[in-house]
């Protein structure tokens, strides 16, 4: 329930901010929503603006969504090891040391988030600390550090923003064509929602393809930072756990363990056997 309320509240706040921006900017630019240029501008503001506002808020959203607490003064040997490992691998990767937090969950998982490679956040589940060896956990942290170093959060946000823009735009173009000559707003609204859903599914295929591609890169980065045998062992540990990710939204995309799907086209992560094979062949 907390995650749902946080998601709804955040999106309402984003819509409110973007609505205010549009009401100020469009008259200044002389744009009208009834024109294609005006419509595209509105769609770009909501598509790109929503994605980047969410990115800027991602650390706060992620910490609150999973109930993670930031480790500032380590209280246990595990926390001291975690902070030291994150700092060491971040230095090797040439980025600023991310904030690090723990969240209570039995699943083996970790995620990275943040708008800046020098001001990011890594969340680690208690299940990972309890069920993985230090070598395996080090490889997982290296994987998340690689996501940050590669700028994956910003790149995925940019791709999502562009796709959102065109999903909104073309859904309204099609709705205008379908409802030409009719002033029934309800029919127009339903048509827009239907085509946004259809185009959204097609857009998600592109987003998930990129997500799977950069998982292979993050695995390779984790192997370079921590050691190939450690990265392979970590993935095999995930394979034997048979757990699906409990993370939501972009946290799922940047977790070490992703959600499963009947169709690989809609998976945020490649199958573990393919990730292991790629490392073994590399």
Q: What is the pLDDT of residue 265?
A: 76
Q: What is the pLDDT of residue 49?
A: 85
Q: What is the pLDDT of residue 187?
A: 86
CATH of 70-282, one of 3.30.70.100, 3.30.470.20, 3.30.2010.10, 3.40.640.10: 3.30.2010.10
Give the three-class secondary structure for 125. strand
Residue written as token pair 């995650």: 3
Note the pLDDT tens digit of each residue in 100-156: 999 999 999 999 999 889 999 999 999 999 999 999 999 999 999 999 999 999 999
Question: Is the model more confident about 263 or about 124?
Answer: 124
Question: Is the model more confident about 181 or about 50?
Answer: 50
Question: Is the model more confident about 233 or about 251?
Answer: 233
Q: What is the pLDDT of residue 38?
A: 83
Q: What is the pLDDT of residue 267?
A: 83
Sign for the CA dihedral angle at 133, 139, 142, 146 comes to negative
Task: Of 281, 277, 239, 231, give the one whose Cα is nearest residue 257.
Answer: 239
Question: Is the model more confident about 277 or about 51?
Answer: 277
Residues involved in catalysis: 144
What are the Cα distances from residue 234, in Å, to 13, 140, 282? 39, 7, 16
Strands 110-113 and 99-103: unpaired
pTM for the predicted model, two decimal places: 0.83
Q: What residue spans define the domains of the chain? A: 70-282
Contacts of 33 (CB under 8 A, 6+ apart): 26, 39, 42
Alpha carbons within 13 angstroms on the beta-carbon side of residue 90 total 20
Q: How confident is the model at residue 10 (pLDDT cuts 50, 70, 90)?
A: low
Q: How confident is the model at residue 164 (pLDDT cuts 50, 70, 90)?
A: very high
Q: How confident is the model at residue 246 (pLDDT cuts 50, 70, 90)?
A: low
Q: What is the pLDDT of residue 40?
A: 86
Ranking 132-141, 155-164, 246-255, 272-281 by mean pLDDT, the lowest is 246-255
Q: What is the pLDDT of residue 30?
A: 67
Strands (E), the chain: 69-70, 99-103, 110-113, 121-125
Q: What is the pLDDT of residue 95?
A: 96
Q: How confident is the model at residue 269 (pLDDT cuts 50, 70, 90)?
A: confident
């Amino acid at each position: 329930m907390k995650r749902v309320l946080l998601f709804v509240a955040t999106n309402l706040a984003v819509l409110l901010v973007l609505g205010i921006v549009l009401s100020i900017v469009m008259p200044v630019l002389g744009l009208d929503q009834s024109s294609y240029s005006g419509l595209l501008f509105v769609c770009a503001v909501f598509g790109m603006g929503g994605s980047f506002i969410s990115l800027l808020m991602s650390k706060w959203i992620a910490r609150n969504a999973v109930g993670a607490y930031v480790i500032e003064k380590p209280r246990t040997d595990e926390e001291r090891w975690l902070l030291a490992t994150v700092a060491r691998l971040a230095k090797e990767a040439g980025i600023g040391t991310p904030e690090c937090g723990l969240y209570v969950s039995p699943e083996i998982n970790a995620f990275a988030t943040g708008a800046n490679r020098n001001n990011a956040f890594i969340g680690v589940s208690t299940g990972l600390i309890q069920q993985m060896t230090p070598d395996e956990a080090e490889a997982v942290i290296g994987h998340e550090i690689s996501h940050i170093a590669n700028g994956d959060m910003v790149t995925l946000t940019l791709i999502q923003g562009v796709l959102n823009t065109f999903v909104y735009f073309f859904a309204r173009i099609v709705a205008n064509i379908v409802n030409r000559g009719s002033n029934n707003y309800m029919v127009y609204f339903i048509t827009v929602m239907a085509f946004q859903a259809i185009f959204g599914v097609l857009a998600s295929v592109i987003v998930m393809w990129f997500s799977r591609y950069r998982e292979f890169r993050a695995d390779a980065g984790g192997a370079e930072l921590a050691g190939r045998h450690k990265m392979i062992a970590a993935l095999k540990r995930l394979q034997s756990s048979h757990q699906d990710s409990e993370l939501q939204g972009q946290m799922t995309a940047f977790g070490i363990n992703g959600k499963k799907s009947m169709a690989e086209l809609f998976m945020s992560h490649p199958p573990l056997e393919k990730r292991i094979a790629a490392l073994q062949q590399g």
